[in-house]
């Protein structure tokens, strides 16, 4: 039996592993391929109160404003207050943050600005903060005697005992062999659900697998209707998804329509640095109005050498696509980026299921409310991973446990495989979500999505009987149920707030309340 099983090896999972490994044995399940997940694609940085000119109350106030009335104030203050210590910890591990070379700088590392922030408070490693973080954490975790990193197994269901405790995970190998990993405590750090959409800011984001696995054990899911679309993904229909960091707008980049006119100042006094929900909706409206495929982001007011120095990754990627961002505007389009909802947790990352924790994008801590503020996500990964670790270290005794139940899952290693069939159904699911459950929603669209997804799930359930339970089929089944729950949450919210905009109820209700659903709330397909 593992002591602590962590499902997911991004920033949250690796931070937790390193934070408990002095006292507990840890197994981390991480994807085999580097391009999977979201952490390593994060560009902007980590928001924290580091400058002597900034303060905790200001960061709290900006986060609450971006969250549009739905943040949990206690979670916000907790996260923001813990931020500086989390950055100190990273510095102690050797994290290569970009220094501030200005001789008058009040803080040794460069702090940039992003949407919603009233101050410069985003510490970063050039424009590839996620990659640098993963490299730093992985270098420590890989050599640690109490941490076992496994990339040969994918968790497909959580294991539980008759008392309702989570006891690890049922996994499959790439060739479909089943294996159950028992654990005293299980932590989901398995990412969000942007993969439910067609166009995303990272090449292979998660599809909410962890959220649904937790829901299968009875965990409560919160705020699933709040899917964030990042305003500026590179418009490159034939290429792989590529984010254009909000830090470009933080350094003065402006958005223009195809006619070359700025449109943000007329919509929000904060202009291009308004919170993401507002900017993404404005771009979407401008694209509809012009019947265009993108808008422009222009950073060419900055000195060319500064652009190359501050944004080397973005500069190089765009140049490879034939765009010299020191001279020409960048074609950009909103794309699915971050799930503000997820597994409801407390301030220790504990879910409503005993011995099951969730951290990072798979969790909903109350920090983001109806719209996450830029660079608060890596902050949340660090703070809640460290808080969960402290809790795990303080509660290492086991509760009464029983034999692990098999649940609904049984492996049929001999049945035939179904990769093309699964891929086609996944494409249909993503098409439904993108068309009907995107930036702007309507009652008719949501009702039709609910019906189409239920029909798709029925078809998959019937046809799946002839196929082996492989990783891709499990992922599709989880994605379908999570998509249906997300649509249900969107239909139940009879208002527009933050990232959820329904043109049939455009106003906000006076009582802001988080949405909470369990798998049992979903009608049978």
Q: Greatest CA separation found in the chain?
A: 68
Cβ atoms < 10 Å from Cβ of 421: 17
Nearer to ligand SIN, 30 or 249 (CB): 249
Decide if 276 is catalytic: yes
Task: State the minimum distance, in angstroms, from the CB of residue 372 to ligand SIN.
Answer: 7
Residue 167, classed as helix, strand or coil, is strand
Mode of pairing for the β-strands spanning 2-7 and 26-29: parallel
Whole-number Å distance between alpha carbons of 314 and 328: 13
Residues making up the chain, counted from first to last: 525
Segment interacting with ligand SIN, rule: CB under 6 A, options 91-99, 161-169, 218-226, 243-251: 243-251
Q: Is 515 in the site for ligand SIN (CB under 6 A)?
A: no
Q: Token digits for 29?
A: 């399940």
Q: CA 196 from chain center: how many Å?
A: 12
List, in sequence order, every beta strand (DSSP E) within 311-426: 330-339, 342-344, 356-358, 363-364, 404-405
Among positions 15, 19, 186, 245, the unique one binding ligand SIN when judged by CB under 6 A: 245
246 binds ligand SIN (CB under 6 A): yes
Q: Which one, 72 or 246, has the nearer CB to ligand SIN? A: 246
For the chain, the straight-line distance linking the first and the last C-alpha, in angstroms and rounded, comes to 36
Q: Which is nearer to ligand SIN, 254 or 485 (CB)?
A: 254
Residue 27 binds ligand SIN, judged by CB under 6 A: no
Nearer to ligand SIN, 43 or 515 (CB): 43
What's the closest the beta carbon of residue 251 comes to ligand SIN, in angstroms?
12
Residue 347 Cβ vs ligand SIN, minimum distance, rounded to whole Å? 21
| Binding residues for ligand SIN, total number by CB under 6 A | 10
Q: What are phi and psi of 216, to 5 degrees?
A: -60, -30
Q: Does 374 bind ligand SIN (CB under 6 A)?
A: yes
What whole-number distance in Å separates Cα of residue 413 and Cα of residue 409? 12
Contact status: 63 vs ligand SIN (CB under 6 A): no
Residue nearest to ligand SIN (CB): 44
Name the token pair of 496. 């527009």
Contact 45, 375 (CB under 8 A): yes
Stretch that binds ligand SIN, among 24-32, 312-320, 373-381, 449-457 (CB under 6 A): 373-381
Q: Where are the alpha helices (DSSP H) in 271-375?
A: 276-290, 304-310, 312-320
| 43 touching ligand SIN, by CB under 6 A | yes
Phi, psi of 296 (to 5 degrees): -110, 145
User: Interacting stretch for ligand SIN, rule CB under 6 A, among 143-151, 265-273, 374-382, 391-399?
Assistant: 374-382
227 binds ligand SIN (CB under 6 A): no
Interface with ligand SIN, residue 195, by CB under 6 A: no
**39 is a contact residue toward ligand SIN (CB under 6 A):** no
| Whether the Cβ atoms of residue 34 and residue 216 lie closer than 8 Å to each other | no
Task: Report residue 524 as tokens.
Answer: 């049978």
CA 283 – CA 290 distance, rounded (Å): 11
Least spacing, CB of residue 246 vs ligand SIN, in Å: 3
Which positions from 375 through 414 interact with ligand SIN, judged by CB under 6 A? 375, 377
Number of alpha carbons in the 13 Å side-chain half-sphere of residue 339 = 35
Chain centre distance of CA 164: 27
List 20, 247, 353, 388, residue binding ligand SIN (CB under 6 A): 247
Compute the least distance from the CB of residue 43 to ligand SIN, in Å: 4
Q: Is 445 in the site for ligand SIN (CB under 6 A)?
A: no
Of 120, 276, 475, 481, the active-site residue reads 276
Site residues (CB under 6 A) for ligand SIN, limited to 317-346: 338
Encoded tokens for 400: 């009464």
**Segment near ligand SIN (CB under 6 A); pick from 139-147, 158-166, 370-378, 445-453:** 370-378
Q: Which runs of E-coded beta strand occur in 81-196?
A: 111-112, 122-123, 147-150, 153-161, 166-173, 178-188
Interface with ligand SIN (CB under 6 A): 42-44, 245-247, 338, 374-375, 377
Residues identified as active-site:
276
């Amino acid at each position: 039996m593992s002591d602590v099983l962590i499902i997911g090896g991004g920033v949250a999972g690796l931070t937790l592993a390193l934070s408990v490994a002095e006292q507990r044995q840890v197994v981390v399940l991480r994807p085999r391929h580097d391009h999977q997940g979201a952490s390593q694609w994060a560009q902007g940085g980590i928001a924290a109160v580091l400058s002597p000119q900034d303060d905790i109350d200001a960061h709290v106030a900006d986060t609450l404003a971006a969250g549009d009335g739905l943040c949990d104030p206690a979670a916000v203050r907790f996260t923001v207050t813990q931020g500086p210590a989390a950055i100190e910890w990273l510095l102690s591990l050797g994290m290569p943050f970009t220094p501030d070379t200005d001789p008058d700088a009040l803080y040794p590392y460069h702090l940039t600005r992003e949407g919603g922030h009233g101050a410069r408070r985003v510490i970063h490693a050039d424009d590839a903060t996620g990659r640098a973080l993963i490299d730093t954490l992985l270098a420590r975790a890989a050599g640690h005697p109490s941490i076992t990193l496994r990339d040969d197994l994918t968790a497909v269901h959580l294991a539980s005992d008759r008392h309702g405790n989570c006891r690890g995970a049922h996994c499959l190998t790439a060739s479909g062999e089943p294996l159950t990993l028992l654990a005293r405590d299980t932590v989901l750090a398995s990412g969000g659900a942007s993969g439910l959409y067609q166009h995303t800011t990272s090449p292979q984001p998660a599809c909410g697998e962890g959220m649904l696995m937790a829901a299968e054990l009875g965990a409560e899911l919160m705020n699933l209707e709040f899917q964030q679309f990042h305003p500026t993904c590179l418009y490159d229909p034939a290429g792989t998804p590529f984010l254009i960091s909000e830090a470009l707008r933080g350094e003065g980049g402006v958005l223009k329509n195809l006619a070359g006119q700025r449109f943000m100042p007329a919509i929000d006094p904060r202009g291009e640095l308004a919170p993401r929900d507002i900017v993404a909706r404005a771009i979407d409206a401008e694209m509809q109005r012009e019947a265009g495929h993108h808008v422009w982001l222009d950073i060419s007011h900055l000195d060319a050498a500064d652009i190359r120095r501050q944004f080397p990754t973005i500069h190089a990627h765009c140049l490879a696509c034939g765009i010299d961002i020191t001279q020409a505007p960048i074609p950009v389009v909103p794309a699915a980026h971050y799930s503000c909802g997820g597994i409801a947790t407390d301030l220790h990352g504990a879910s409503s299921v005993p011995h099951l924790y969730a951290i990072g994008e798979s969790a909903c801590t109350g920090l983001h409310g109806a719209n996450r503020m830029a660079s608060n996500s890596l902050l949340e990964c660090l703070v809640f991973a460290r808080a969960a670790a402290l809790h795990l270290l303080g509660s290492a005794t086991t509760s009464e446990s029983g034999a692990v139940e098999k649940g609904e899952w049984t492996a049929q290693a001999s049945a035939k495989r179904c990769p093309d069939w699964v891929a086609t159904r996944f494409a249909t699911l993503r098409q439904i979500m993108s068309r009907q459950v995107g930036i702007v929603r309507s009652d008719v669209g949501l009702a039709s999505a609910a019906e189409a997804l239920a029909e798709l799930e029925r078809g998959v359930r019937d046809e799946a009987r002839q196929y082996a339970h492989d990783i891709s089929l499990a992922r599709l089944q989880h994605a379908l149920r999570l998509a249906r729950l997300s649509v249900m949450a969107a239909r139940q919210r009879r208002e527009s707030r933050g990232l959820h905009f329904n043109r049939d109820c455009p106003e906000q209700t006076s009582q802001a309340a988080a949405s909470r659903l369990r798998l049992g709330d979903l009608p049978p397909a």
